[in-house]
Amino acid sequence: MIRLVPAIDLIDGKCVRLTKGDYDTKKIYNEDPLDVAKQFEDHGIQYLHVVDLDGARLGHIVNYRTLEHIASRTSLIIDFGGGIKEDGDLEIAFNSGARMITGGSIAVTEPDKFATWITKYGSKKIILGADCNNKKIAIHGWKETTDKDLIPFIQGYYGQGITKVICTDIQRDGMLQGPSIGLYKEIKKNVPLIYLIASGGVSSIEDIEKLNEAGIPAVIFGKALYEGRLQIKDLLRFT
């Protein structure tokens, strides 16, 4: 059964969503992310994906107080990303209640440092963030598309011990046009043992069902919930 991982994206401590990672498209959905997190927990959700969008833009962790607020008042298993660039950022995130850290840009810009994190904390705590634009890895809050091909990038870190990867197709993110199931199947074909967490484009319960049928282990979603296209009660069959 596919694992459900709702997302809370943070700007100024508020629950927001962007479209294709564009900060100019920011829409605030709730002033209190804890209230949102508690709703997820009340409906049997166990996991939560928290993204520090301020951190992603500024290059260092910013919204750790909000992370701490959620982690200390719910039992949700939180993975946290955005602005994790230094060892100190990692420590702040873990000390604030994150159970897992997602590293994306750092895995591209400072691969040796990211590799030390994998060794130090282990694959249960470090997730690879593989955000892509037309199958090329994108970094720095998606403002820069690199020349690194998605699948070899994932394969390289799988060889270094990574077991979980979050893959976001930027062209689908926030568009509510369905996830890139073909892309995720291609990843699974080339890296069959990786725990793949699909992200971007989920617009309905049918999209989650299709990902489940395709054998994708987990899915991150957000905007569809906040826009009312996906009801929390609809997710009960997967919890």
Comparing CA positions, the residue from 184, 162, 76, 77 lying closest to residue 115 is 162
DSSP single-letter state for residue 83: S
The residues, any chain, with a CB within 8 Å of residue 61's CB and separated by 6 or more, are 52, 55, 82, 83, 84, 89, 92, 93
For residue 157 the two structure tokens come to 């870190």
Structural domain span for residue 178: 3-238
Supply the pLDDT for residue 175. 67
Beta-bridge mates of residue 43: none
For the chain, what is the domain count? 1
Q: Which residues are catalytic?
A: 9, 131
CATH number of 158's domain = 3.20.20.70
Cα 229 versus chain centre, distance: 20
Supply the pLDDT for residue 208. 96
pLDDT tens string, the chain, 239 residues long: the values are 999 999 999 999 999 988 877 888 999 999 999 999 999 999 999 999 999 999 988 889 999 999 999 999 999 999 999 989 999 999 999 999 999 999 999 999 999 999 999 999 999 999 999 999 999 999 887 778 999 999 999 999 999 999 999 999 988 876 678 899 999 999 999 999 999 999 989 999 999 999 999 999 999 999 999 999 999 888 888 87
